[in-house]
Structures are given as structure tokens and as C-alpha cells.
Amino acid sequence: MNLGEMTSCLTDIGIDYWIGVPDSRLGPLSHLLSSNSLEYAPREDLAVAAAFGASVGGLRPVIFMKDAGLGHCLDALLTTFVLAELPYLMIVATSIADPPVAHHEVWATRLAALIASLGARSVDLTSTTTAGLKDLLRQAAATNRSLILIYCS
């Protein structure tokens, strides 16, 4: 699944607030979304805080960031969404470099364990169809479970 298909799918299910830290892999979001629903944050923890406020205020947010950013926002996630027992939706961009880059390999080997420790479910968008993603989103909503979408470029 590419970013355009993912964006359409999330917009179709009612996601109306996109907030995150700019990343080259997620750069096309700015061309796919209206400026009314897209905001950039200077840091990942601030994106989480803004998404939490939006969620409490009645919007349906999605948080986006690169893989290393997940480590930067753990305290914000734990003291907002997790503590309040509110599910969140997140897009985490990662990459597989050729030739390998050390920090990419470190994140690739630890990302799944980190997500599991948060009690969230994750799905690799490269092997997911639009119908499959919509089904996962429905399941996450029905079970009040957080979902992290892994976008690999």
C-alpha cells in the first residue's frame, strides 16, 4: 500500500486531524491532505500531546513520525493516551537502506518489541491492502486498541 492509498483509507474512515514530525519518507502527506487537517510539530512528544487534546476534543487524529521518534514520545504516550485508556492511531515510517545503515538496523530489530510493550497492535503497510487496513481499523475501534501503521520506504 502506498501513502496515497493509506491517506484515502484513513480519510474515508473519518480521520480528520493529522499531526506529526516532518520526515522525508512521509513528505508526500503535505500534497495528499488539505492544509486544514495537517499540522507539523517540532517534536514527537508535542505531536502526541496535540493529538491527545484533539481526541479529547472530539476529533479523530493520527500521529505520524519516523521510527526513532517513537522513542522520543514514549513518556507523552504513556501519560496521555495510555493512562487515559484512549486508543491512538499512529504512522511510523521506517526504511531499509542498501547498503545498510547502522541506526536503521537498530530500529528495525527493536521496533516490534517497543510497539508490543505499549500494548498496541502494529501492521506493515507494505503487505496490507486497502480492504485489509479498513478491517484492521474497524477491529481496533471495536476493541478500543491502539494501532501503529508501519510505513516502510
CATH number at residue 110: 3.40.50.970
pLDDT for res 98 = 56
Tell me: the pLDDT tens digits for 65-116? 988 889 889 999 999 999 999 999 999 988 765 556 677 677 777 888 888 8
* DSSP character at residue 100: -
Q: What is the pTM (predicted TM-score) of this model?
A: 0.90
pLDDT for res 97 = 58
Three-state DSSP state, 134: helix
Query: Which structural domain range is residue 74 located in?
Result: 3-152
Whether pLDDT at 46 is above 90: yes
Considering only CA atoms, which of 93, 90, 146 is closest in space to residue 118?
Answer: 146
Radius of gyration for the alpha carbons in the chain, expressed in angstroms and rounded: 14
Q: CA neighbours within 13 Å on the CB side: how many for 136?
A: 21
Residue 38 CB-density burial (10 A; 0-12 exposed, 13-18 middle, 19+ buried): middle
pLDDT for res 89 = 95
Grid coordinates in use for 15? 480521520
pLDDT for res 90 = 95
Structural domains in the chain (count): 1
